[in-house]
Amino acid sequence: MTDRDLEQLGINVIRGLAMDGPQKANSGHPGTAMALAPLAHVLWTRVMRHDPSEPDWPDRDRFVLSVGHASILLYSMLYLTGYELTLDDLKAFRQWGSKTPGHPEVHHTKGIEVTTGPLGQGFANAVGMGIAERWLRARFGPEACDHHTFVLCSDGDLQEGISHEAASLAGHLGLGRLVYVYDDNHITIDGPTELSYSDDVPKRFEAYGWHVDNVGEIANDTDALEDAVRRAMAVEDRPSMIVLRSHIGYPSPKFTDTAAAHGNPLGEDEIRVTKEILGLPPEETFWVPDEVLEMYRRCIPRGRALREDWESRRAGGGGSRELLEACLNGRGLSGWQAKLPTFEAGAKMATRKASGACLNAIADVVPGLLAGGADLTDNTGTFLKDQGVQSAADPGGRLIYFGIREHAMGAIMNGAALHGGVVPVGGTFFIFSDYMRPAVRLAALSEAKVVYSWTHDSVGLGEDGPTHQPVEHIAAMRAMSGLRVIRPADANETAHAWRVAIESNGPTALLLSRQDLPVLEGTAERADDVARGAYVLSTGGDDPEILLIGTGSEVHVCLAAAEELAAGGVVARVVSMPSWELFEEQDESYQEEVIPPELPALAVEAATSFGWERWALDSVSIDRFGASAPGKVALENLGFTPANVAEVARELLSELEDDDEG
C-alpha cells in the first residue's frame, strides 16, 4: 500500500466512524463529518502543530469546530491521533457520562478547545483566540507564542448575527493567523440553503477586510486543500476565509447533498452500501485497521518534538518568566492584592467608577488583563489608561474597543480566556446583557475566566427609562449555574469583588451602579466577608427583632432604615449580601450566623422579588418595569427610601405578631 493509498484509507475510515457513531446512538449529524474527512485529515496530519501527549501545551495550534453538530468528526480525529479518547468512547457517542457528548465541551474531553454547538459561537470564540495569540506574541515574543487558529464553520454560523459582529471586528483589527474554512455545502436542516440564504459570502468577507480564497470543488483533493490552508496561514495582516464547496453525506448514494444527511443517522442499509463504495468492510462497525491507526499515531512523536522545541525556545526567549506565568495562569503577581485601592468612609462614588479605579490600579500586577467595552468603555469602568489600544498597529495594546457588538464581545471574551494568557474584561449596561446572554451561558458552561462589568444596574440609572432599566436581569443571571454574580454595596466592596474575580476560576459578573453611593463605615476591612457572599454589616444592638438584607445600592438604604426603626424602638440587624452564589458555597453554620432562621428577614433590592423567598419572608422589590425619571426620583417612587423600608419592616413584624396571637 502506497502512502497515498494509506491516506485515502484513513480518510475513508474517518467517514466510516462518522456514520457508525450516530447510527449506534440513533442520534447525530454524520453528513458534514463525512464530507470534511479529507480536510480534517490534512489539518491534523499535515498542518497543525499539536501534541496529543500534552493537549494543553500553550503554543499549540487551536482547532475550533464552530459547526459543533459535526462533533463525531472531531472525536474521530482525537481518537485516531492519540488523545485520551478510545474506540469505546466513540461507541458511547451521545450517551450518559461519555467523553463524546453531542456537541464538543471544553474541559470535558481532552483536545477540545471551546464548547460549541450554538451556531456562530465558535466563529466568534476564534476571534478571541486570535487576539490572545497576537497579544502574547507582541508582549513576550514568538519564542513564547507563535501559532495559528483553524476554524470550521458552516452556513448556519454565517447566518447567525454574531458572525457579522465578530467578523467585522476581526477585519477591523487586522487579525492574521486566523484560518477559517467555510463548509459551503448548500444544505440546512430545512433543506437547500437557497430557501432562506443567498448571501455572496466571498464579497461579504472581502467587505469586512478579510483575505478570501474561493477554492470551489476541492473537498476531496488533499493536496489542493493543504495548499489553500497554507496560503491562508501566510496571511499575517488580516483573517482568512477559505470558501470550500463540499457535498454533505458524500459518498452516500441516497443521501449525498440532502438535508437527510444533516441531522439523522443514514440507516444500516445505506451505511452498508456506502462502506462498499469506500472499500470498508460493510458488516463491521467502528473499523480501524492497525496500519491506519499507526499512521495517525505518528502525530504523537511529531507533536512531542514540536513541543520540546518550543520549550527550549521559550527557556531562551526574552520577557519576564514571572509575568508570562501569571498571564498563562490568569492570576496576579505575588502580593497583587495590595494594589487594590481603599476608599474613605463618607465619600460618595458610583461603583462603576470604583471598579474602573480598581482595574487600573491592578493592571500592572495582573498582567493578563485586557479590557474594553461595547461602545461604553468609559461609562462601564473598563477604560485602561496608558496601556495602548489593541489594533494592528499596536498588537500589544490592552484596551479593546469592541464597538456596539455585545454578543460577539461575550463570545470573543470566552475564546480569549479559553486560549489562555489573558483575563478578558468586558463592559456594557446591565440591560444589554440580554444581547450577551448566549455567550454568558457558554462562559458559565465552559468555566471561562472572564469578568463582566455590567453597569447602570437598576432603575437608579434614571431618565433613559424602562427600555434601559434592568429589573428581572439579576434574577435571571443568578439562575445561571456557574456564573458568579456580585453586586457590591460601595466602592470598598467593589475592590473586594475584584479580588474574588481574579483569584477565582470561571466567569464573574460585577453589577455596578451608575449613581454615586456612599462609602460605608466598616466595609474596607471586609474583604474576606465579601468573598463569603454575605455578612453582618451592622448588628443594630442586642436582641435584634428583624433582619434587613440589602444588595448593591440598597445596602445604604437598609442602614438608614435601621436607624429609623431604632428611633421607634425596633432593633434591626443589617446584612450586606453582594453574592448569592458565594453565600451558597458557605457551610450551614455560617449561613445561619448571618441569617438566623429565627429572625424575620426583609430583603431590599431594586429588582424583581423573584427568588428572595429563599432568604427572606418579604422584600422591597420591583415586580414591574421601571419608568423614565431622574434616578433618585425613580427609586423614591418605587419605594427605595429608608422611610418605606422601615414601614414595610414594621408591617412585617405586625403581621407576624398577629399570626402568633391568632
CATH of domain 533-661: 3.40.50.920
Do the Cβ atoms of 291 and 6 come closer than 8 Å? yes
pLDDT at 620: 98
Grid coordinates belonging to 288? 480501524
d(CA 294, CA 586): 51
Choose among 525, 531, 556, 547: nearest CA to 615.
Answer: 547
Q: Report the C-alpha gap between 507 and 495 in whole angstroms.
A: 17
DSSP helix/strand/coil, 240: strand
Q: Helix (H) and strand (E) counts for the chain?
A: 26, 20
Instruction: For 508, list phi and psi in degrees, rounded to 5.
Output: -125, 130
23: left (phi over 0), alpha (psi -120 to 50) or beta: alpha
Percent residues over pLDDT 70 in the chain: 99
Q: What are the pLDDT digits (tens) for 188-221?
A: 999 999 999 999 999 999 999 999 999 999 999 9
Domain chopping of the chain, boundaries: 3-120+141-158+167-306, 336-518, 533-661
In the 3-class helix/strand/coil scheme, how is 355-421 assigned residue by residue?
HHHHHHHHCCCCCCEEEEECCCCCCCCCCCCCCCECCCCCCCCCEEECCCCHHHHHHHHHHHHHHCC
Residues 6 or more apart whose CB falls under 8 angstroms from that of 305 comprise none
Cα 500 from chain centroid?
A: 18
In tens, the pLDDT along 345-401 reads: 999 999 999 999 999 999 999 999 999 999 999 999 999 999 999 999 999 999 999
Cα(248)–Cα(270) distance, rounded to whole angstroms? Answer: 15
Output the pLDDT for position 2: 96
Residue 337 CB contacts under 8 Å (≥ 6 apart), including other chains: 499
Q: How confident is the model at residue 335 (pLDDT cuts 50, 70, 90)?
A: very high
Q: What pLDDT is recorded for position 659?
A: 81
d(CA 222, CA 605): 61
DSSP assignment letter at 285:
S
What is the spatial distance between Cα 494 and Cα 30, in angstroms, rounded to a whole number? 49
Q: How far is CA 310 from CA 50, 129, 387, in A?
A: 12, 19, 28
What values do phi and psi take at 289, rounded to 5?
-70, 155
User: What is the set of active-site residues?
Assistant: 406
Scanning 109-256, the segments in alpha helix (DSSP H) are 121-140, 155-159, 161-173, 201-208, 222-233
Q: What is the pLDDT of residue 351?
A: 98
- Is-contact 99 71, C-beta < 8 A? no
Among 3.30.450.20, 3.40.50.2300, 3.40.50.970, 3.40.50.300, name the CATH number for the domain at 3-120+141-158+167-306: 3.40.50.970
Q: Can you give the pLDDT at residue 1? A: 85
Question: Rounded to an integer, what distance in angstroms lies between the CA atom of residue 289 and that of residue 277?
Answer: 17
Looking at residue 420, what is its pLDDT?
A: 98
What digits encode the pLDDT tens for the residues 149-174? 999 999 999 999 999 999 999 999 99
Note the pLDDT of residue 651: 98
Q: Which tens digit of pLDDT belongs to each residue from 452-490?
A: 999 999 999 999 999 999 999 999 999 999 999 999 999
Provide the pLDDT confidence category of residue 318 given band limits of 50, 70 and 90. Answer: low
pLDDT of residue 662: 66
| Distance (Å, whole) CA 60 – CA 231 | 19
Q: Residue 249 in contact with residue 266, Cβ under 8 Å?
A: yes
In this predicted structure, the answer to whether residue 319 has a pLDDT above a threshold of 60 is no
Pair 518, 568: CB distance under 8 Å:
no
Pair 494, 351: CB distance under 8 Å: yes
The pLDDT confidence band at residue 67, using thresholds 50, 70 and 90, is: very high
Please check whether residue 551 is in contact with residue 487, taking contact to mean a CB–CB distance below 8 angstroms. Answer: yes
As a whole number of angstroms, the distance between CA 333 and CA 344 comes to 26
Q: How many CA atoms lie within 13 A of 352 on its CB side?
A: 29
Q: What would the CATH number be for the domain defined by 336-518?
A: 3.40.50.970
Amino acid at 427: G
- Asked whether 469 and 432 are in contact (CB, 8 A), the reply is no
Sequence letter at residue 396: G
Kind and range of the H or E run holding 244: strand 240-245
Contacts of 284 (CB under 8 A, 6+ apart): none
| Cβ contact 575:534 at 8 Å | yes
Encode pLDDT of 292-312 as tens digits: 999 999 999 999 999 999 999
Q: How far, in Å, CA of 405 to CA of 166, rounded?
A: 8
Helices assigned H by DSSP within 95-140: 121-140
The pLDDT of residue 315 is above 80 = no
Mean pLDDT of 177-185: 98
Give the count of beta carbons closer than 10 Å to the beta carbon of residue 628: 15
- Residue 151 φ then ψ, to 5°: -135, 130
Q: Residue 85 above 70 pLDDT?
A: yes
On the question of pLDDT at 317 being above 80, the answer is no
